Structure 1
Amino acid sequence: MIIDSLKALFERDLQRLYEEISLYKDEKKLWHVEQNIANSAGNLCLHLIGNLNTYIGAEIGGSGYIRNREAEFSDKNIPRQSLLEEIAKTRTQVSNALGTLKESELHEEYPRLVFEKSMSTLYFLMHLTTHLNYHLGQINYHRRLLDEK
């Protein structure tokens, strides 16, 4: 039951990410930064894709995904369609990986040390949902601010 809830949250919010990236009126603005804003919506999108494919797709689902975290923040001007395709693939990876989990495994230690201390898989999956939402909110705000200019 908890796994179904987590799957539903990731599905919902990855769909929202897809929609946010789709809604930019000017595709070039996906990569726009100014003043004290360090990350564009495009880079935040790449970061979320890398994060979820690493910690859920590869670690839980065994997908073999290899993360290049630096590129998530340094790559620029990737076509919107490519981002949308990667979001769709990520949705599939997350759903498939979570589908392999048993409820009892949620209370086991997450197999990778991430925050310099161990944590349960459930705790980390909950963290990943809030991390996704944090950046999703930033992307939404970025889009609405720039679409008004």
Structure 2
Amino acid sequence: MKTNRSSLGEEFIENAVFRIDESMRMVQKSLDFLKEEDVWKRPNESSNSIGNILVHLCGNITQYILAGLDGREDLRKRDAEFAIQGGLSKSELIDQINTLILNVKSILQNLSDEQLTKHYKVQGFDLSGVGIVLHVVEHFSYHTGQIAFWTKLLKNRDLGFYEGLDLNLKNENGC
């Protein structure tokens, strides 16, 4: 379905979806290295487990995209996301976030310019649609880094996010 969106809007959504997919790829790769019991380990009482982070991401993304941009009822219980100490398996957690991300990408790909510039009240903030998408992308990326860091601490290994790529290539002007 073609939306009523400018080329700038198209470019913005295309790049937002790319970044969401990158975070999802890194989360999946991190989880592939973990044993079931690793998912709910906490480094200390002031920190969250990878399981908590994944539950929190689902809550945040649901609140911002599904309830915010898509107008669904906001049923989030944020404090509960951090109180959970188990009960969901690694595969259940990844299935939940994968299903959510598929839904989110469908919503994003159908947003109009009007929806991207309209303002919404989400979690007490007044944000445009663009602001909501930026928040979700950066928030997902932030927690992806936490998941990767905690996985590296647990497993003492490089996670190979960029295997096969030469990240030392220099930029080319005019790309």
TM-score bracket, shorter-length normalisation = 0.7 to 0.9
Partner of 1:133: 141
TM-score normalised by the chain length of structure 2: 0.73
TM-score normalised by the chain length of structure 1: 0.85
1:11 is the counterpart of 2:21: yes
SS of the aligned residue for 1:31 comes to coil
More helix by share: 1
Q: Structure 1 runs of 4+ off > 6 angstroms?
A: none
Q: How many residues align?
A: 146
The answer to whether the Cα contact below 8 Å between 2:121 and 2:127 also exists between their aligned partners in 1 is: no
Partners of 1:120 and 1:28 in 2: how far apart? 40
Note the alpha carbon deviations across 1:13-61, whole angstroms, 9 max, x for none: 223223322321x221111113365111110111011111121123223
More strand by share: 2
Tell me whether 79-88 or 53-62 shows the greater mean CA deviation.
Answer: 53-62
Partner of 2:96: 86
- Which of 1 and 2 has greater Rg? 2
Partner of 2:69: 60
The answer to whether the Cα contact below 8 Å between 1:33 and 1:39 also exists between their aligned partners in 2 is: yes
1:100 is the counterpart of 2:125: no
SS of the aligned residue for 1:48 comes to helix
Unaligned runs of 5+ in 2: 1-9, 158-175
1:72 corresponds to which letter in structure 2? E
Note closer, same or farther for the CA distance 1:22–1:72 as it changes in structure 2 (3 Å cut): farther
1:34 is the counterpart of 2:43: yes
Note the alpha carbon deviations across 1:68-117, whole angstroms, 9 max, x for none: 222211112221111011011111121122123112322221x214354x
Partners of 1:30 and 1:143 in 2: how far apart? 9
Partner of 2:59: 50
The answer to whether the Cα contact below 8 Å between 1:31 and 1:76 also exists between their aligned partners in 2 is: yes
- Percent of aligned pairs with the same amino acid: 25
